Structure 1
Amino acid sequence: MRIVVGITGASGSVYGYTLIRALYELGVETYVITTQMGEKVLEFETGVTIEQLKQYATILSNKNLFAPTASGSFKTDGMVIVPCSMNTLGAIAHGVGDTLLSRTASVVLKERRKLVVVPRETPLSLIHLENMTKLAQAGSMILPASPGFYQRPKEIWELVNFVVGRILDALDIEHEFIARWGEKH
């Protein structure tokens, strides 16, 4: 299995970092593309640098439109953008492929592969909602970073794992990150 993970400058980079580590632990070939602000927010919020991510995934430069993920002939099983800023979401919704991240998302959509967009913004304007609708209509899954509380979390990592578990579910990747409703814990 091969997954692309995009990290943008929205708050919530801990979701992206946790997903990358989970994919690594699950043996999934992972490619990571970060925006410039995504790198800064990742380090600010988690203390993790892009250099440290290299132990878990192949890092691609957002400026490199010659990277393999820019082409539909490079087969992937999907892409997740987590967290996804409204700037990146808007660019993808309007077909702007001027960075590797937005170009890769465009390729994933045109090839009808799984694109999971995890917006981390509140409140949402009508423009944000319309852009999300446009992406959903194009085949993307909009998966807000909204953790569940029925598992009665006591630690922040439990909230993060809930969202990461839902992302893995959206990609049809088996895992044991979350307690499932109606199943014994």
Structure 2
Amino acid sequence: MNKIVMAITGASGMPYALTLVQELISLDIELHLVVSSAAYKVLQLESPGYEATLSLVENIYRQDDLGAPMASGSFQHGGMVVCPCSMASLAAIAQGLGSNLIHRAADVTLKENRRLVLVPRETPLNRVHLQNMLAARDAGAVILPPCPGFYNKPQEMQDLIRHIAARIMDSLGIENSVSRRWEGG
């Protein structure tokens, strides 16, 4: 399905989110984007000019818009990604809380047996973080920390960021050639 739900939460890692948005749009993916209020604050700090990328998205929702399409299981889509995923959002998703649209959409994605990719951005991890990741994984989510590979011989930071965007799209089943793949060695 050519429709993806994406959420951006208030963790550090906005270049990952913005690159993923750009790559999905370039592949003519119908993107439904939820941006938390904390994410807007981090976007301002980490990615001045982020508005240009977000303006490419036709369907943007607020975290308090529980009437949005992705709050219902009848909304058909090919999967959801939370990038970056704050530890607070990870905890809410792992415990099945639906207090905002991001958490509700993730819960619906899991209950409908669709792909859910969580990109947690925190280090070091404490026991609670790890337990929440395990709970989310046990519920069916893919846990994809942004740990870039170096086999693609990155020349600049954007190469590392694109590598993670490619891995996220791979996890969502989206064919792409965003980053150089391992060819053996």
Q: What's the TM-score, normalizing by structure 1?
A: 0.95
Inter-partner Cα distance in structure 1 for 2:87 and 2:25: 27
Cross-structure match for 2:9: 8
Closer, same or farther: CA 63–136 of 1 in aligned 2, 3 Å: same
- How far did 1:144 drift? 0.4
The answer (yes or no) to whether the contact 2:17–2:84 under 8 Å persists in 1 is yes
Counterpart of 2:97 in structure 1: which amino acid? V
User: Residue deviations 1:63-90, cap 9 Å, x none?
Assistant: 1100111000011110000000000000
* Amino acid in structure 2 at the alignment position of 1:63: D
Q: Distance in 1 between matches of 2:145 and 2:83?
A: 9
Counterpart of 2:63 in structure 1 is 62
TM-align CA RMSD: 1.4
Stretches of structure 2 that go unaligned for 5 or more consecutive residues are none
1:79-115 Cα offsets, whole Å, 9 max, x none, are 0000000000001111110100100000000000000
Contact 1:9/1:41 (8 A) holds in 2:
yes
Query: Residues 59, 110 of structure 1: CA spacing in aligned structure 2 closer, same or farther, 3 A cutoff?
Result: same
Question: 1:137 is matched with which residue?
Answer: 138
SS in 1 for 2:31: strand
| 1:108 has 2:109 as partner | yes
Given that residues 24 and 57 in structure 1 are in contact (C-alpha distance below 8 angstroms), is that contact kept between their aligned partners in structure 2? Answer: no
Aligned to 1:89: 90
TM-superposed CA distance for 1:52, in Å, is 4.9
SS of residue paired to 1:30: strand
Give the SS at the match of 1:41.
helix
Q: Is the 8 A contact 1:72 1:108 kept in 2?
A: yes
CA, structure 1 residues 51+36, in 2 after alignment: closer, same or farther (shift >3 Å)?
farther
Q: Which residue of 2 aligns with 1:148?
A: 149
Tell me if the contact between 1:71 and 1:107 (Cα under 8 Å) persists in the aligned partners: yes
Corresponding residue number in structure 1 for 2:80: 79
Unaligned residue ranges in structure 1 (runs of 5+): none
Q: In 1, distance between residues paired with 2:83 and 2:58?
A: 15
* Offset at residue 183 of structure 1 (A): 6.7
Q: CA deviation at 1:181?
A: 0.7
